[in-house]
Structure 1
């Protein structure tokens, strides 16, 4: 790739779209919401596996070149010297692959207290009462309990990302990780951005935290969840009461493992 490549991953509803919207103010930076590259990589790895009987004709060197070319082709128009941030929750589960292909790449993990992640999704569902959400396969039934159980399950939107994040924190590639909490990003954005710039080795840039622009209205409309990727013009922390029943809050309140040094054995930096 002509451009430098880094990744944004972590939990959903934890600030990845907001972080991308801020980063893209820098004219050398290219960042957006979750894109297709992660799915393309997963699909190609499966196609080149022994699930395909003709895979015996593909060498590991060819596999590597093909995966590298997914990134190169997708970001073909990025100028030399610019910086690309590719966003996808799958990257935390792909650190061995990423660090082999892109040894200098860093992964910014957006994290947020798990009950508030679940609350944020439930709040979107309740706000869009006339549009069943694609997050739940457009199912019109269910309750907050079944929705949260589905989200937090191993294959759920939150559960998968949480497990991938735990895997990343306990793996052999922790030196490429930086965790940025939603709380810091929304209350001390200058501090959060300074940490990101320092971590990726880029010169500081003066961002305007009161003039942020990002909305994926058409994408969100198609999955029946308007507002999923909408970012407000300015950054502010919302003080509010959770819509989750207290028993669900208690069930997940200890899952924010990045806040506990004992559960961060390799000292991943948390901002």
Structure 2
């Protein structure tokens, strides 16, 4: 039987690196965002009150239909494969996942919010001849307006951040593992061992110096080449931010999981307050 686990959390926070490492294990399936999340959303809508025939679906049938989406998409995998399906929205559906897959776990990749904004901004400035769909193909804007769009309730950062905060304080918060980007990049073997243990999977020795992953076509279609690029070696890059100091300061307090009074689970490595690089502007 296929085991289902999930990768969620914030963008530009290590989910692609985590997937690239996990997929080295032949008993594991992982990748960038899959279509299952959007399929679940579509079926949930079709089973809602806007569809009068939904009256004929009981709870067991609804659950079976949703589980069937996962089993159909991953049906060709060998028996016993552990699937890590990636979607930023899974933390917003944690109650649903717990009902569908009672043994599932969710790995939430996190990174200080200003560094996420910095990372996206670097991509935008690097790809000067591209128009990124991240911002609705808007050719104008500045670092300030782009940050505002990303931090909006439905934005690239704002939505998954709010979904994660909701999950962290819900009934199923014990299913979450907060995984800081720096911890994964600096201590990949130890971090992966913690992920395997948390998910109840047998350990596996990964090659952290020969990482292969290619999502070039996907990134090109988004008008953002390099969005899912992964270095061949897992390591932490120390650099200075390109964000103006006032922009950095505005969103520094958004990294709420670094506050022990806020988060319920201790991040891998026990260092939820660790920063990436320096904040010098």
The corresponding residue for 2:23 is: 24
* Alpha-carbon distance in structure 2 between the residues aligned to 1:177 and 1:126: 34
Please tell me whether the aligned partners of residues 20 and 32 of structure 1 are also in contact (alpha carbons under 8 angstroms).
yes
Aligned with 2:265 (options 260, 264, 268): 268
Partner SS state of residue 69, structure 2 = helix
The corresponding residue for 1:96 is: 95
* Alpha-carbon distance in structure 2 between the residues aligned to 1:66 and 1:239: 46
State whether structure 2 residue 52 is matched by structure 1 residue 53.
yes
- Root-mean-square deviation (CA), in Å? 0.9
The corresponding residue for 1:110 is: 109
Partner SS state of residue 157, structure 1 = coil
CA deviation after TM superposition for structure 1 residue 60, in Å: 2.1
The corresponding residue for 2:40 is: 41
User: Which is worse superposed, 188-197 or 104-113?
Assistant: 188-197
**Which consecutive residues of structure 1, in runs of 5 or more, have no partner in the other structure?**
none
Residues 191-227 of structure 1 deviation map (CA, whole Å, 9 limit, x = unaligned): 2111101101122111110000011111111110000
* Alpha-carbon distance in structure 1 between the residues aligned to 2:205 and 2:63: 38
Please tell me whether the aligned partners of residues 133 and 225 of structure 1 are also in contact (alpha carbons under 8 angstroms).
yes
> What is the number of equivalent residue pairs in this alignment?
268
The corresponding residue for 1:125 is: 124
Residues 241-266 of structure 1 deviation map (CA, whole Å, 9 limit, x = unaligned): 111111111111111111111002xx
CA deviation after TM superposition for structure 1 residue 59, in Å: 2.2
Please tell me whether the aligned partners of residues 177 and 269 of structure 1 are also in contact (alpha carbons under 8 angstroms).
no
* Alpha-carbon distance in structure 1 between the residues aligned to 2:212 and 2:111: 22
* Alpha-carbon distance in structure 2 between the residues aligned to 1:98 and 1:202: 19
Report the TM-score, using the length of structure 2 for normalisation: 0.93
Q: How does 1:202-217 map to 2 (within 5 A)?
A: 202-217=201-216
Partner SS state of residue 85, structure 2 = strand
* Alpha-carbon distance in structure 2 between the residues aligned to 1:56 and 1:203: 43
